[in-house]
RNA sequence: GGGCCUGUAGCUCAGCUGGCAGAGCAUCGGACUUUUAAUCCGCGGGUCGCGGGUUCGAGCCCCGCCGGGCCCA
């Protein structure tokens, strides 16, 4: 064992604390706390009850001010308010869920020395343990009359101002502060957790198996996106962070996992803005012996159950109508419409648009309406026109079915309508929440598509896929006819809560 | 990629036409046994995002860079 010199923490601390008087003062208190049992960071404190439990059990005391329960509890929480007077001090302790309770430290209760030490050493933001009787104050506030107190964990950095909102940037960069001071931040975390649990529960009810497939891949595929590249020292090779789990989940399907799903992170090396994050949680699911209609049924059930879960314990218990952050009520219930892209576009423009409508005719239509299109081909034009004429009119969750072949080159062709693929996008209030397919399982056709993609890549398209021989070999062993679906988890949370993407992610990537 | 807004004390923000760097809360010292953002007295606290320029003088005007937000593509 090599001997190592102790790191020179003193110099570092001097530097850190030097400029910040607040921290300097608090550090001085650390030394004082060293003289007390346990110091500033005791390994444990003798808690006998949680703050919410104490509140629930003795809430009735608030109806009779200045009364005593006769029972003693030991509780701990963060000091979020302090009102110190000469011989009687008040503090509010907050537990992790935001529940608060008042504690009272009096000369009569703890004695002169302990009271003086309390006033000297305990600051806003510290974790404090107290033991004492549960009482109500003269004003009727549920309180613990302290007989003994201890620092549970000293805070060196000061708590932010509790009476004004944190700025957007501080919320994101120091989410722990956001969680301490803002109820909605705590609710958001719980809503996300409840949503995830609900999805897994719905999948379990329907006989799906959850798997985890590689995030580090020797070849990226399953979507059109630019990947992050990294390097493996052990293999001395480049590896890609996955842009989608699709090609591995389909291998699982070949192996006999007839109902399989994964909820995990994807990474796309592209722009980050208020609706796009470079890393994002994605759900993908594959179900054998169904098609894009069956997988749409599944998707609707998953989201409606998630809405129920988000409403559990609220006044909307049992309802599919969710409450958004801006106060809007949004109904996710009922049977969702399934509309045809060509059909609704034709209706909207008052003339028949089909997969065989010419590029010229579509371009004229686009020009007339001032719709700008960069890459004029039939599919691109149809999608742009559809978005322009139809999309914004959708108020309820809607599956938009049957897309042009050109814009979905990797997708299975429609069984009866030429020029169209068996694909849907699920739109919820203007954005694409999920996408589903009758999966392409023909290894010969799949190979052709890969070869076309590889040609695009050779021409410099760094979003195009390469020929994945290992995946093709799997497909050649036969994948059952299947429906597949992908859904962004952050977007699902946005649909359930009306929040921006940075609020749905606990720690969004920031520079 | 384009346009607009923004960065000042630990936190949230003012700062006029270019003229000594400000407030509330927090911190520090003092008083107070029923406070609810307690009150009262007193004291501190700044790389005005960074770099350049104009000017007698720049938080403010100009240029570049960095961070954040909104809209558009």
ipTM associated with this complex:
0.87
Ranked by mean pLDDT, the top range of A21-30, A182-191, A255-264 is A255-264
pLDDT at residue A34, as a whole number: 58
pLDDT 10s digits, A178-217: 999 998 899 899 999 999 999 999 999 999 999 999 999 9
Coil, helix or strand for A244?
coil
A425 annotated as a binding-site residue: yes
Indicate the burial class of A417 (C-beta count within 10 angstroms; 0-12, 13-18, 19 or more): middle
- Give the CA A143 to C1' B25 distance in Å: 25
Nearest residue by alpha-carbon distance to C1' of B31? A86
Q: How many CB atoms lie within 10 A of CB A351?
A: 11
- Give the CA A511 to C1' B55 distance in Å: 36
Q: Which 24-83 positions of A have CB less than 7 A from strand B?
A: 25-26, 66, 81-83
Closest to A495 (Cα-Cα) out of A122, A235, A192, A139 = A192
- Give the CA A131 to C1' B60 distance in Å: 55
Q: How many CB atoms lie within 10 A of CB A422?
A: 23
Q: Is the pTM of this model over 0.80?
A: yes
pLDDT at residue A16, as a whole number: 35
Least confident of A99-113, A157-171, A335-349, A434-448: A157-171
Coil, helix or strand for A122?
coil
Name the band, by pLDDT with cuts 50, 70 and 90, for residue A325.
confident
Least confident of A30-39, A139-148, A169-178, A362-371: A30-39
Supply the mean pLDDT for chain A: 87
Chain B positions within 7 A of any protein Cβ atom are 10-13, 24-29, 31-38, 44-45, 47, 66-73
Least confident of A2-11, A100-109, A421-430: A2-11
State the Cα–Cα distance between residues A171 and A160, nearest whole angstrom. Answer: 11
Closest to A366 (Cα-Cα) out of A355, A354, A339, A378 = A378
Ranked by mean pLDDT, the top range of A8-17, A237-246, A498-507 is A237-246
Asked if strand B contacts A318 at the CB level, meaning under 7 A, the answer is no
- Give the CA A379 to C1' B39 distance in Å: 72
Asked if strand B contacts A3 at the CB level, meaning under 7 A, the answer is no
Residue with tokens 């006033």: A119
- Average pLDDT estimate for A63-84: 95
Asked if strand B contacts A167 at the CB level, meaning under 7 A, the answer is yes
What letter does residue A396 receive in the DSSP assignment? S
pLDDT at residue A77, as a whole number: 96
Residue with tokens 């608060």: A100
pLDDT at residue A41, as a whole number: 86
pLDDT at residue A391, as a whole number: 85
Q: Which 367-406 positions of A have CB less than 7 A from strand B?
A: 372, 374
Q: Which residues contact A142 (CB under 8 A, 6 or more apart)?
A: A54, A55, A58, A59, A61, A62, A101, A102, A134, A136
Ranked by mean pLDDT, the top range of A9-18, A32-41, A333-342, A501-510 is A333-342
Sign of the alpha-carbon torsion through A43, A49, A53, A55: negative
- Give the CA A132 to C1' B43 distance in Å: 36
pLDDT at residue A26, as a whole number: 65
Asked whether the beta carbons of A355 and A342 are under 8 A apart, the reply is yes
- Average pLDDT estimate for A294-302: 98
The string of DSSP letters for A297-345 reads HHHHHHHHHHHHHHHTTSTTTT-SEEEPTTS-EEE--SPPEEEEHHHHH
Closest to A108 (Cα-Cα) out of A128, A83, A91, A133 = A133
pLDDT at A163 over 90: no
Q: How many CB atoms lie within 10 A of CB A327?
A: 7
The string of DSSP letters for A441-496 reads --HHHHHHHHHHHHHHHHTT-TTSPPP-HHHHHHHHT----EEEEEEEHHHHHHHH
pLDDT at A483 over 90: yes
Asked whether the beta carbons of A386 and A353 are under 8 A apart, the reply is no
Asked if strand B contacts A163 at the CB level, meaning under 7 A, the answer is yes
Asked if strand B contacts A4 at the CB level, meaning under 7 A, the answer is no
Q: Which nucleotide is nearest to A82 (CA to C1')?
A: B35
- Give the CA A363 to C1' B31 distance in Å: 82
């Amino acid at each position: 064992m090599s001997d190592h010199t102790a790191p020179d923490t003193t110099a570092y601390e001097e530097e850190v604390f030097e400029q910040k008087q607040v921290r300097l003062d608090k550090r001085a208190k650390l030394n004082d706390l060293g003289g007390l049992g346990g110091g500033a960071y005791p390994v444990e404190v003798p808690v006998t009850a949680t703050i919410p439990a104490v509140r629930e059990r003795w809430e009735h005391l608030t109806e009779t001010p200045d009364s005593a329960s006769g029972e003693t509890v030991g509780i701990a929480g963060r000091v979020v308010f302090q009102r110190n007077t000469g011989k009687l001090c008040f503090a509010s302790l907050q537990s992790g869920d935001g529940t608060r309770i008042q504690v009272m430290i009096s000369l009569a209760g703890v004695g002169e020395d302990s009271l003086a030490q309390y006033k000297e050493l305990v600051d806003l933001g510290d974790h404090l343990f107290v033991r004492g009787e549960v009482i109500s104050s003269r004003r009727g506030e549920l309180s613990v009359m302290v007989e003994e107190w201890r620092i549970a964990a000293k805070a060196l950095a000061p708590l932010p101002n509790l009476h004004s909102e944190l700025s957007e940037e501080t919320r994101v960069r120091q989410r722990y502060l956001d969680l301490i001071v803002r109820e909605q931040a705590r609710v958001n975390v719980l809503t996300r957790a409840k949503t995830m649990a609900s999805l897994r529960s719905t999948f379990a009810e329907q006989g799906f198996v959850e798997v985890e497939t590689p995030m580090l891949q020797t070849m990226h595929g399953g979507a059109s996106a630019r990947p992050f590249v990294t390097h493996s020292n052990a293999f001395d090779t480049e590896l890609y962070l996955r842009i989608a789990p699709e090609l591995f989940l389909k291998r699982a399907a070949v192996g006999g996992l007839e109902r399989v799903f994964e909820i995990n992170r994807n990474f796309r090396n592209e722009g980050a803005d208020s609706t796009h994050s470079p890393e994002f949680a994605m759900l993908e699911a594959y179900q054998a012996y169904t098609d894009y209609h069956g997988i749409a049924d599944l998707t609707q059930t998953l989201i409606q159950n998630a809405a129920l879960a988000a409403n559990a314990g609220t006044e909307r218990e049992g309802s599919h109508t969710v409450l958004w952050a801006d106060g809007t009520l949004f109904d996710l219930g009922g049977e969702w419409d399934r509309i045809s892209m060509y059909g609704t576009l034709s209706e909207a423009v008052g003339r028949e648009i089909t997969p065989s409508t010419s590029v010229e005719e579509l371009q004229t239509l686009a020009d007339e309406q001032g719709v700008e299109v960069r890459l004029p081909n039939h599919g691109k034009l149809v999608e742009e026109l559809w978005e322009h004429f139809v999309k914004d009119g959708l108020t309820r969750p809607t599956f938009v079915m049957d897309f042009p072949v050109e814009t979905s080159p990797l997708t299975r062709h429609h069984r009866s309508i030429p020029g169209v693929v068996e694909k849907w996008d699920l739109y919820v209030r203007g954005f694409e929440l999920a996408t589903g397919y009758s999966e392409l399982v023909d290894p010969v056709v799949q190979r052709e598509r890969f070869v076309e993609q590889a040609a695009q890549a050779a021409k410099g398209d760094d979003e195009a896929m390469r020929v994945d021989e290992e995946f093709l070999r799997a497909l050649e062993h036969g994948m059952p006819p299947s429906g597949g679906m992908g859904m962004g988890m952050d977007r699902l949370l946005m649909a359930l809560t009306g929040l921006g993407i940075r609020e749905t992610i606990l720690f969004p990537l920031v520079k």
